[in-house]
A and B are shown apart, each in its own frame.
Chain A
Amino acid sequence: MGWEEMQVRGYSEFVRTAQSYHGRPIFALFCGDKDAEGRSWCPDCVTAEPIVRKELHNLPDESVFIYCLVGDRAYWKDPNNEFRRNLKLTAVPTLLKYGTPQKLVEEECFKAELVRMLFTED
């Protein structure tokens, strides 16, 4: 069946979407919001996104890739935002395998080798 992508914005939408795919491997990339020109306030996210997208073809069959915009810079900087509190995110970009401790944070997302390892290995 291959893999599919879902694009969401904000915590509630993320959780709803992840829950709806319960049972399938779920990978998620969290990035800062983009402005009207499609540029994110988070420079590392700008760097990471194309690198991650280039590895998507390695995703296992049946998996879901959720591309999630977390919010604006002010929301992200709040130490109590829901992503930090509930998902234990510490930074953006974060690329993770949902429901496992496996994740890559910030510059780790720039390394194609590591992204591939996250997508393809147990």
Chain B
Amino acid sequence: SVQAHKEEDNPQKTMEVNGLTPVPNSYDYDLIVIGGGSGGLAAAKEAAKYEKKVMVVDFVTPTPQGSSWGLGGTCVNVGCIPKKLMHQAALLGQALQDSRKFGWQFTEEVKHNWMIMTESVQNYIGSLNWGYRVALRDKKVTYENAYGEFVGPHTIKATNKKGIEKLYTAERFIIATGERPRYLGIPGDREYCISSDDLFSLPYCPGKTLVVGASYVALECAGFLAGLGLDVTVMVRSILLRGFDQDMANRIGEYMKEHGVNFIREFVPIKVEQIEEGAPGILKVTAKSTAGDQIIEGEYNTVLLAIGRDPCTRKIGLDKVGVNINEKTGKIPVNDEEQTNVPYIYAIGDILQDKLELTPVAIQAGRLLVRRLYAGATAKCDYVNVPTTVFTPLEYGACGYSEETAVEKFGEENIEVYHSNFWPLEWTVPSRDNNKCYAKIICNIQDNERVIGFHVLGPNAGEVTQGFAAAMKCGLTKEQLDSTVGIHPVCAEV
């Protein structure tokens, strides 16, 4: 057996780490949360409410380009928050153009300064990082900026950035390590390409950009970069927004194309080379067709990879404690109480198999789990009818089934789709597109025409969708929807 001695705190306490012998009956902590993102922090703060002794270990392995960030996870640092702010920056650019038609007169040409925007966004993120640290400290949750991994039953090793290792034990663990962007595995990808992990703190304007991928990350980033005036191309292997309603996905793509985003369809990069160093430099991308032998080349200042995200579950010692993961995807299967196959180890957030990768879902799952563990609650996380929004230039809000999935599950003859184009009043005067905004609901004929899918493409889609999600949770039917008087003049009245 291996005897591991803990530094400092309890020099007399030793543990047998051989996988068979049970650890001593008093653990360092009631709960250790591995990962300080949306799910992890929500769970930790909730546990502290019940006077549990909690520790959070959070560590960001720097990207190949050297980017790193503070406490708060992906959403706060390199996800939802900076994304929405930069999307807003792009929308404001559009609004400035529109404003002339509404009578605003300014003679100077309007230009965008990447550094000013990025500094403001990073400042705000910094205040969030600090706010989380204050909240944890205030609630007496111990926070260590260290990389946590299991080394034996009930035991993790936490390594800080100076390489100092400490061992901690806990009665229970919650794994909330989230994901990181995937690389292509082609020459030049890690040396020269960036990912969303780098984009929001990029210390120079990205310039002419190639976005590789067709995920919502790819389209949202391509969308706001183009909105800020940059030359943007999106390289797509096959379809847009896999998993989303494909009719809506294609409308989003069409809109982006008509508004200046170039698309290269059915190609994948095979090589990235540096032509010129710089910030940004010039990169040459060689790509191959997925439908034949055609090879194309292009030059860009920046190549942004957004081809998917992989769970951070391969290097946290799960094998040492016997937690099963899906070997192919790295995701962790859990039961409907977020428990892994090891009874004292739970998991929440993006790393879960077959669950939605969204911040509010992780937060909800984390809070409810902790309440079940420590407050005798029984409510489980409801993963059905979770609303989402994609913040592409034309925003897309959705809740429930896509048309394809509804047809698959209920049969085409049992569903009815009601749809409509609409023209936002605010778009009329500046003569913006009059046939692009669109909404549809999918109803289950056999269940009172219950609304099982809601999709809207238009400005403020997120704001519009939230209320409809609540209505769907209450069992909204088409008749109830029809009998609800609309607010005028707003997009949501459609």
Contact = CB atoms under 8 A, between A and B. Distances in A.
B492 to A, nearest CB: 34
A82 B130 CA distance: 24
Contacts of B123: 101
Interface string A50-84: 00000000000000000000000000000000000
Contacts of B80: none
A101 B124 CA distance: 8
A112 B133 CA distance: 15
Contacts of A117: 133-134, 137
Interface stretch (A22-30, A34-42, A102-110): A102-110
A102 B138 contact: no
Interface string B271-306: 000000000000000000000000000000000000
B134 A100 contact: no
B126 interface: yes
Interface in B119-154: 123-124, 126-127, 129-130, 133-134, 137-138
B126 A104 contact: no
A104 B127 contact: no
Nearest to B123: A101
B122 to A, nearest CB: 9
Given A102-B130, A113-B137, A113-B138, 11 more contacts: A100-B130, A101-B124, A101-B126, A101-B130, A108-B138, A111-B138, A114-B134, A114-B138, A117-B133, A117-B134, A117-B137
Interface in B226-281: none
Contact of B126 (A100, A108, A113, A114): A100
A101 B126 CA distance: 6
Interface residues of A, number: 11
Nearest to A108: B134
A111 B136 CA distance: 13
A69 to B, nearest CB: 25
A121 B142 CA distance: 14
A121 B134 CA distance: 11
A103 B130 contact: yes
Closest 5 CB pairs of A and B: A101-B127, A101-B126, A102-B130, A101-B130, A117-B137
Nearest to A100: B126
Contacts of B134: 104, 108, 114, 117
A111 B126 CA distance: 21
B70 to A, nearest CB: 9
Contacts of B127: 101
Contacts of A121: 133
Q: Specify which of B127, B134, B137, B138 lies most central, judged by the most chain A CB atoms within 10 Å of its CB.
A: B134
A58 to B, nearest CB: 14
24 contacts: A100-B126, A100-B130, A101-B123, A101-B124, A101-B126, A101-B127, A101-B129, A101-B130, A102-B126, A102-B130, A103-B130, A104-B134, A108-B134, A108-B138, A111-B138, A113-B137, A113-B138, A114-B134, A114-B137, A114-B138, A117-B133, A117-B134, A117-B137, A121-B133
